[in-house]
Structure 1
Amino acid sequence: MAKKNQMSYDLYFWREERNLKNDPQDVIETLSADKPIAGIATFSRDKIREKFKLDFPGIVDGDISLDWEGEGSYFQVSFTHADKMSVNCIIVTCGYKLLDSPDTMNRIIDVGSHFGCALYDPQTNERYQQPNSQPVE
């Protein structure tokens, strides 16, 4: 297996409507090809963009992605699409130095949790527990 680029750190967020028991890496590969998976929730891309703008003032909205700089690093938000208006996965690519700012990392995770999404960290191959609370959409 090729060595992971240590310049960035990727985070993936999606919400399962039922326990799918799919391998998270397989989910990412399918969703990254913009192929929907039955049982994975979809969200309004605009609502997700609004939440990031609210929680990260100064984030630059480039429509297809959101770019934020701070804490000596950066992150970029992109999406996989279920259709023209909705997304089924939020992808956050962070500068590796952002790991030194747990407050910023937790704010990113809080945005995903706001939509009822669990975090998948491909660097550790761990998908964290999905929030129990009802997502706000």
Structure 2
Amino acid sequence: MYELVFWRYAEEVYLNHQLVYEALDEGENVEGLEQLPTDIILNRINSVFSKWERVDENSWKNSDGPGAFCVKSTPQSVIVECYGTQGKTMDKLVDIMEEFKCPLYDPQVPERYDEMSEK
């Protein structure tokens, strides 16, 4: 399993990404993060992956090849668990979350890919 994690900091807030990830992973509310429109995000993911088989409310499976993913959300985060998912599919998920101004945090590396990390 490969995990993609997304959240959005409030204005002028920038925290330790690993600590934020660990708190979100435990289901905690993190002061300094914005609330996300998770229903709208799930609808967007569903429309982009409309050719994929929707296994349940939060899971999709590629009918034409390898890969499946499950979306877990809290009011402040979206965590996508990818199973055998190809890079281009993960890139699509990252692009969707960029539309909502939520850059990728990759806990495997660990690194957050946002404008602050490029400075």
Scaled by the length of structure 2, the TM-score of the pair is 0.82
RMSD: 2.0
Gaps spanning 5+ residues in structure 2: where?
none
**Larger relative contact order (CA 8 Å, sep ≥ 6):** 2
* CA 1:69–1:112: 2 relative to 1, 3 Å: same
Partner of 1:4: none
**Percent of matched pairs sharing the same residue:** 29
Cα pair 1:52 1:59 within 8 Å, conserved: no
Partner of 1:68: 60
1:89 aligned onto 2:77 = yes
Gaps spanning 5+ residues in structure 1: where?
1-7, 81-86, 131-137
Partner of 2:71: 77
Q: Matches of 1:125 and 1:19 in 2, distance apart? A: 22
Counterpart code for 1:37 = V
Q: 1:61: Cα distance to partner?
A: 6.6
Cα pair 2:72 2:80 within 8 Å, conserved: yes
Q: 1:59: Cα distance to partner?
A: 4.8
Partner of 1:111: 96
Counterpart code for 1:50 = N
* CA 1:60–1:77: 2 relative to 1, 3 Å: same
Q: 1:48: Cα distance to partner?
A: 1.4
Moved over 6 A (4+): none
